[in-house]
């Protein structure tokens, strides 16, 4: 069985993440979406909320599973027996970041592999950071995050404001 792993902070899960997950799920038998920690970021949502948002957004896709891990990506990769990691890229700067991460991960595990999927044009400006910024100032995020989680994300981020 071919397993692909799609890791990220998903803080919160966006339409861009959803599109990559959906497309990647067609390239394998099973896609594991892993909610992980990025030591350079302080998440606005708990791990549990990030997992629930991803699960809710992807529930119609039967070969997608959502998990969380607080460890190293290569350890999860080995544990699950994945063929490759999938990451979405929006820009040249994303590409540079992904290339660096891939090299670091390959130093940790020689058989590590990554597939980079370019995002759809209309989603190139959507990021979790933009979603948080728009929400913070009371803007409408319905075109940025999956419909199933718009209310939750808006409510949670409003709480953080008050
Ligand atoms: O959505 P993000 O923040 O770009 O995702 C980055 C993430 C979570 C995939 C990356 O930080 C990661 O792999 N974290 C787990 C810890 C790890 O293995 N770090 C080494 C990467 S070189």
Ligand 1 pocket check for 105: Cβ under 6 Å? yes
Tell me the mean pLDDT in the region 26-55: 97
CA of 93 to the centre of ligand 1 (A): 16
Q: What is the pLDDT of residues 42-86, one digit of tens each?
A: 999 999 999 999 999 999 999 999 999 999 999 999 999 999 999
Ligand 1 pocket check for 89: Cβ under 6 Å? no
Whether 161 has a pLDDT exceeding 90, the answer reads no
The model's confidence at residue 162, banded by pLDDT at 50, 70 and 90, is: low
Question: Among residues 99, 161, 104, 98, which one has the least CA distance to residue 135?
Answer: 161
Q: Which atom of ligand 1 is nearest to the CA of 101?
A: 22
Domain boundaries, given as residue ranges, for the chain: 3-161
* Residue 50 and residue 11 in contact, taking contact as beta carbons nearer than 8 Å: yes
Q: What is the pLDDT of residues 74-91, one digit of tens each?
A: 999 999 999 999 999 999
CATH number of 3-161: 3.40.50.620
* Residue 15 and residue 126 in contact, taking contact as beta carbons nearer than 8 Å: yes
- 161: DSSP letter: H
| The pLDDT value given to residue 159 | 83
| The pLDDT value given to residue 37 | 97
Ligand 1 pocket check for 80: Cβ under 6 Å? no
CA dihedral over 48, 54, 58, 63, signed as positive or negative: negative
Q: What is the mean pLDDT of the chain?
A: 96
Would you name the residues annotated as active-site residues? 17, 41, 90, 128
**Which residue lies with its CA nearest to atom 17 of ligand 1?**
72
CA of 36 to the centre of ligand 1 (A): 7
Q: Which atom of ligand 1 is nearest to the CA of 128?
A: 1
CA of 94 to the centre of ligand 1 (A): 13
Instruction: Determine if residue 18 is left, alpha or beta; phi over 0 gives left, psi from -120 to 50 gives alpha, anything else beta.
Output: alpha
Ligand 1 pocket check for 103: Cβ under 6 Å? no
**Residues pairing with 88 in the sheet:** 117
Ligand 1 pocket check for 72: Cβ under 6 Å? yes
The model's confidence at residue 158, banded by pLDDT at 50, 70 and 90, is: confident
Q: What is the pLDDT of residues 109-130, one digit of tens each?
A: 999 999 999 999 899 889 999 9
**Residues pairing with 65 in the sheet:** 32
């Amino acid at each position: 069985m071919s397993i692909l792993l799609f890791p990220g902070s998903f803080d919160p899960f966006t339409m861009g993440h959803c599109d990559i997950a959906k497309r990647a799920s067609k390239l394998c038998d099973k896609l594991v979406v892993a909610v992980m920690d990025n030591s350079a970021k302080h998440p606005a949502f708990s791990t549990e909320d990030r997992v629930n948002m991803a699960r809710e957004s992807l529930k119609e896709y039967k070969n997608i599973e959502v998990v969380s891990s607080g460890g190293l990506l290569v350890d999860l990769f080995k544990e699950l027996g994945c063929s490759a990691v999938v990451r979405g890229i929006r820009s040249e700067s994303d590409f540079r970041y992904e290339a660096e991460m891939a090299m670091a991960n390959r130093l940790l595990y020689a058989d590590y592999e990554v597939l980079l999927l370019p995002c759809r044009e209309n989603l190139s400006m959507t990021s979790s950071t933009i979603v948080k910024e728009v929400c913070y100032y009371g803007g409408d995020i319905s075109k940025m995050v999956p419909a199933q989680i718009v209310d939750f994300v808006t409510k949670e981020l409003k709480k953080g404001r008050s």
